[in-house]
């Protein structure tokens, strides 16, 4: 109920602001143009801050474009050699630079693999966020993270499915920018002994 009231209240404020702006424009030069209340003005300022992309969003700009990926997977922590495959990914901005979407195509165990993700920066949480879905499951993988300027690395925590255990396990992933045409993504999760191990590494090279 509180969430519904907040959404309705926010919508009312936005509508009121739009009407007020129009009336003020129409009454320019008149003695007493309509004014927003202090509460409405404060809400509009907060909403403007929440909806406006900033330097945190721009850090994701390097991903925009088409990439070729080399994918290494370690299904068994005891196995010294990973399985290797290749794939393609394309990143695009949507909603005027507020969110980054990507589509990935590859193969997994001889089957076509298609994945889709949306990522961005939440101005309220002050965290980077991403959501992943693919044709090899019916669940959502959701992560939150931060960015380290010195190492040019994004670090996320997320949950991934453990089908044998029938639950989701917590994991960690990193995205490290090497240069404008190369970056590396790594994913880690618990092995059978509960200790963290690398499950996947993707090396991206910008497609020419």
> What are the start and end residues of each CATH 2.40.128.20 domain in the chain?
57-206
- Return d(Cα 71, Cα 39) in angstroms, integer: 52
* Count of C-beta atoms within a 10 Å radius of residue 13: 20
Tell me what percent of the residues of the chain surpass a pLDDT of 70: 84
Q: Does residue 62 contact residue 180 with C-beta atoms inside 8 Å?
A: yes
* DSSP classification of residue 70: E
- Return d(Cα 132, Cα 10) in angstroms, integer: 29
Instruction: Quick: pLDDT tens for 121-142.
Output: 999 999 999 999 999 999 999 9
CATH fold, domain 57-206, is Lipocalin (2.40.128)
> Ramachandran region of residue 207, left (φ > 0), alpha (ψ -120 to 50) or beta?
beta
pLDDT band for position 177 (cuts 50, 70, 90): very high
Q: Does residue 156 contact residue 147 with C-beta atoms inside 8 Å?
A: no
Instruction: Quick: pLDDT tens for 24-39.
Output: 444 445 566 578 898 8
Whether residue 3 has pLDDT greater than 80: no
This prediction has a pTM of 0.80
Torsional sign, CA 55, 183, 175, 112: positive
Q: Which two tokens stand for residue 46?
A: 């907060």
- Return d(Cα 198, Cα 173) in angstroms, integer: 9
What pLDDT score does 30 carry? 55
């Amino acid at each position: 109920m509180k969430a519904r009231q907040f959404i309705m209240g926010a919508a009312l404020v936005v509508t009121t602001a739009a009407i007020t702006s129009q009336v003020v424009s129409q009454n320019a030069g008149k003695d007493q143009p309509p004014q927003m209340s202090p509460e409405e003005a404060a809400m509009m300022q907060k909403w403007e801050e929440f909806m406006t992309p900033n330097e945190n969003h721009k850090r994701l700009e390097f991903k925009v474009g088409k990439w070729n990926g080399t994918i290494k997977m370690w299904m068994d922590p005891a196995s010294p050699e990973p399985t290797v495959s290749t794939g393609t990914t394309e990143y695009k901005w949507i909603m005027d630079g507020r969110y980054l979407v990507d589509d990935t195509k590859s193969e997994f165990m001889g089957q076509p693999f298609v994945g889709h993700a949306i990522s961005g920066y939440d101005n309220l949480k002050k965290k980077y966020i991403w959501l992943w879905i693919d044709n090899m499951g019916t669940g959502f993988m959701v992560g939150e993270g931060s960015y380290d300027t010195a190492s040019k690395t994004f670090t996320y925590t997320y949950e991934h499915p453990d089908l044998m255990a029938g639950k989701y396990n917590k994991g960690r992933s990193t995205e490290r920018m090497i240069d404008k045409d190369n970056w590396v993504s790594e994913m880690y999760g618990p092995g059978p002994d509960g200790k963290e191990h690398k499950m996947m590494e993707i090396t991206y090279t910008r497609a020419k």
